[in-house]
Amino acid sequence: MSDLEDLKARLTAEIAGAEDEAAIEAVRVAAIGKKGSVSELLKTLGKMTPDERKTRGAAINELKTEITDAISARKAALKDAAVTARLKAETVDVTLPVRPSPSQTGRVHPVSQIVDEITAIFGDMGFAIAEGPDIESDYYNFTALNFPEGHPAREMHDTFFFQPDEKGERKVLRTHTSPVQIRTMKAQEPPIRIVAPGKTYRQDSDATHSPMFHQVEGLVIDKVTHVGHLRWTLEEFCKAFFEVDSVTMRFRPSFFPFTEPSFEVDIQCDRSGPQVKFGEGNDWMEILGCGMVHPNVLKNCGLDPDVYQGFAWGMGLDRIAMLKYGMPDLRDFFAADQRWTNHYGFRPLDIPTLFAGLSA
Ligand code: DAH
């Protein structure tokens, strides 16, 4: 067998043995690439005598054509095979049932639900939503709210303090949503009607207390604002929120540094059955603190107390969520247990509205 036949036999076997597109490409480079075995033979043509060129030269050219054709044919076959394999691997069975979307399987946490309900109610009454940071300065959390420096009321809140900064000031995790009152009054002109839901923090932890909990703050500032407005607003809210036609509320005198007079509000309820019922019964349940905004607080925000008055209230959200939806232990709220969320959570597309129902 001549050397050319030898080479042809070897290359033909390599071409046939190439299993994929990368392998046949390697064979191509090794045979007819710049430094390929056939290309090297072609380079010898220049030094041949005319006779040699006629016989051996023609044979080399023929070998090159045959090998080139064989490689192209194998390449095309491998490409077809690759496409066929891919189509087979990526087959989609369009007759399979569609998997439920996250909007069907996901659940809204009861606290988010309560916030949505509250903002729907107050939004309907013409209130805007306000927000403030969880990490507050001592000024917004206490001083501006008329907590005097060193006053024991500051200790009342079991505050989480940060390390003092270079100026010796300690930031706090806000102990209530009341600092949003200050931020709002400093940022906008009256009339003001806002509610501010959010996270709050105190060093407290048991079945009904968590170090992180939720409150909603309310604030109204206008030129003629009085306790009657406060009562009406809270009563309308409670009826809408507890989804009852009437509620009986009790305003007990209390103390908060930022309101004068201050009240704690109880709502009449029936605790004789397994679930608390509102709007009936012989029991009272405390649900919020409120009062008329203290003149010092108005002054701290640049408002003249002889021109403007206002009322404010603050309510814990977690406990009323527990009451409204019958969840026994607050700690489960923040345990991130999907079984709990699936059980107590709400469908994402059932957005609470006053016309379609809050919790329906
Ligand atoms: N910030 C108070 C607390 O966390 C609750 C509160 C009471 C808020 C009276 C108010 C208010 O706006 O007027 O205990």
Phi first, then psi: what are they for 103, rounded to 5°?
-70, -15
CA of 176 to the centre of ligand 1 (A): 7
Closest residue (by CA) to atom 8 of ligand 1? 314
263-313: per-residue pLDDT in tens? Answer: 999 999 888 887 778 878 889 989 999 999 999 999 999 999 999 999 999
**Which residues does ligand 1 sit against, CB inside 6 Å?**
176, 178, 217, 256, 259, 289-291, 312-314
- At 151 the pLDDT is 79
The number of beta carbons lying within 10 Å of the beta carbon of residue 252 is 11
Closest residue (by CA) to atom 3 of ligand 1? 176
What percentage of the chain carries pLDDT values higher than 70? 99
Q: How do the residues of the chain divide into helix, strand and coil, expressed in percent and rounded to 5?
A: 45, 20, 35
- At 224 the pLDDT is 94
Closest residue (by CA) to atom 5 of ligand 1? 314
7-19: per-residue pLDDT in tens? Answer: 999 999 999 999 9
Indicate the pTM of the whole model. Answer: 0.73
Q: Which atom of ligand 1 is nearest to the CA of 218?
A: 12
What 3-state DSSP class applies to 115?
helix
Top mutation candidate among 178, 192, 194 for ligand 1, by most atoms within 8 Å of CB: 178
Question: What's the rounded Cα separation, in Å, for the pair 261 and 12?
Answer: 101
236-273: per-residue pLDDT in tens? Answer: 999 999 888 989 999 999 999 999 999 999 999 888 88
Task: Note the helical H segments in 48-206.
Answer: 50-52, 58-89, 102-105, 110-124, 138-141, 152-156, 179-187
Top mutation candidate among 174, 195, 258, 264 for ligand 1, by most atoms within 8 Å of CB: 258
Q: Which atom of ligand 1 is nearest to the CA of 259?
A: 13
